[in-house]
């Protein structure tokens, strides 16, 4: 871009060289040159203005770009947090479902049994034993994980005129009772929802003396339990 000073300098040189020439021609030429100089000056001014506008524009764009970069960094950080959260949440869910998958059992009594005091009732016929946590030889369920569990027991008297009292026990502590009137093949039942630590045991025991009370078998008396939710 030619600077105004340069243009003026060139014009001055031309004018100086014309000073000695014919006065009419010189006047005309001078006025034409003056016009050209003015035009050039105006053009120069416009270019200077435009140049300034470009500079301002670039400054604004640089600021804008800087802001955008900061926003991108923020979004990237946020994205990383969300990804981490989703991954940990996913693994948490996997962990619970792996440990808690299919923990549940149902077992019934095969034949009528005479029961002594505090005798554990061993429900020996397994219908379901997902997770293998119920022992059909000892009659206890052992919690494989800490969590919330449900247990149900039904006992039926064998008609020997003896009432039957059964208790659901958690590590020796009674958490539910079922009673059946012995005179009429009565059934007693109970459902309990209970928290268990991993390793705690639940079973059903007869808790009435004198001993000798009988419980009916052939699938009428049964014990079931399952994990509702692992903690």
Ligand X SMILES: *[C@@H]1O[C@H](CO)[C@@H](O)[C@H](O)[C@H]1NC(C)=O
Residue 135 touching ligand X (CB under 6 A): no
- CA gap 68, 197 in Å, rounded: 53
Task: State the nearest-atom distance from the C-beta of 220 to ligand X, in Å.
Answer: 4
Residue 187 touching ligand X (CB under 6 A): yes
Residue number, 26 or 125, with CB nearest to ligand X: 125
HEC string for the chain: CCCHHHHHHHHHHHHHHHCCCCHHHHHHHHHHHHHHHHHHHHHHHHHHHHHHHHHHHHHHHHHHHHHHHHHHHHHHHHHHHHHHHHHHHHHHHHHHHHHHCCCEEEEECCCCEEECCCCECCCCEEEEEECCCECCCCCCEECCCCEEEEEEEEEEECCCCCCEEEEEEECCEEEEEEEECHHHCCEEEEEEEEEECCCCEEEEEECCCCCCEEECCCCCCEEEEEEEEEC
Residue number, 109 or 202, with CB nearest to ligand X: 109
By rule CB under 6 A, what string of x and - marks binding of each residue 21-60 to ligand X?
A: ----------------------------------------
Number of residues that bind ligand X (CB under 6 A): 8
Sole binder of ligand X in the list 26, 129, 160, 181 (CB under 6 A): 181
Residue 159 touching ligand X (CB under 6 A): no
Residue 183 touching ligand X (CB under 6 A): yes
- CA gap 189, 167 in Å, rounded: 10
Sole binder of ligand X in the list 4, 10, 125, 185 (CB under 6 A): 185
Residue 184 touching ligand X (CB under 6 A): yes
Do 118 and 205 form a contact (C-beta atoms < 8 A)? yes
Residue 177 touching ligand X (CB under 6 A): no
Residue number, 146 or 163, with CB nearest to ligand X: 163
Residue 165 touching ligand X (CB under 6 A): no
By rule CB under 6 A, what string of x and - marks binding of each residue 211-230 to ligand X?
A: ---------x----------
Residue number, 133 or 162, with CB nearest to ligand X: 162
Sole binder of ligand X in the list 103, 121, 143, 156 (CB under 6 A): 156
Sole binder of ligand X in the list 130, 186, 192, 228 (CB under 6 A): 186
Task: Give contact residues for ligand X (rule: CB under 6 A).
Answer: 156, 181, 183-187, 220
């Amino acid at each position: 871009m030619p600077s105004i000073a340069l243009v003026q300098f060139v014009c001055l040189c031309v004018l100086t060289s014309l000073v000695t020439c014919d006065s009419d021609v010189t006047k005309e030429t001078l006025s034409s040159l003056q016009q050209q100089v003015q035009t050039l000056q105006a053009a120069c001014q416009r270019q200077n203005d435009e140049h300034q506008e470009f500079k301002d524009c670039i400054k604004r764009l640089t600021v804008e770009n800087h802001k955008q970069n900061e926003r991108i960094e923020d979004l990237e950080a946020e994205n990383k947090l969300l990804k981490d959260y989703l991954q940990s949440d996913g693994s948490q869910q996997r962990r619970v479902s792996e440990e808690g998958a299919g923990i549940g059992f149902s077992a019934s009594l095969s034949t009528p049994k005479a029961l002594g005091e505090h005798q554990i009732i061993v429900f020996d016929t397994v219908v379901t034993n997902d997770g293998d946590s119920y022992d059909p030889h000892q009659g206890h369920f052992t919690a494989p994980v800490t969590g919330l569990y449900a247990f149900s027991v039904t006992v039926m008297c064998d008609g020997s005129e003896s009432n039957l009292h059964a208790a659901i026990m958690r590590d020796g502590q009674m958490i539910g009772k079922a009673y059946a009137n012995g005179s009429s093949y009565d059934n007693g039942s109970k459902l309990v929802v209970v928290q268990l630590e991993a390793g705690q045991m639940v079973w059903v025991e007869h808790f009435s003396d004198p001993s000798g009370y009988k419980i009916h078998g052939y699938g009428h008396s049964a014990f079931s339990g399952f994990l509702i939710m692992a903690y």
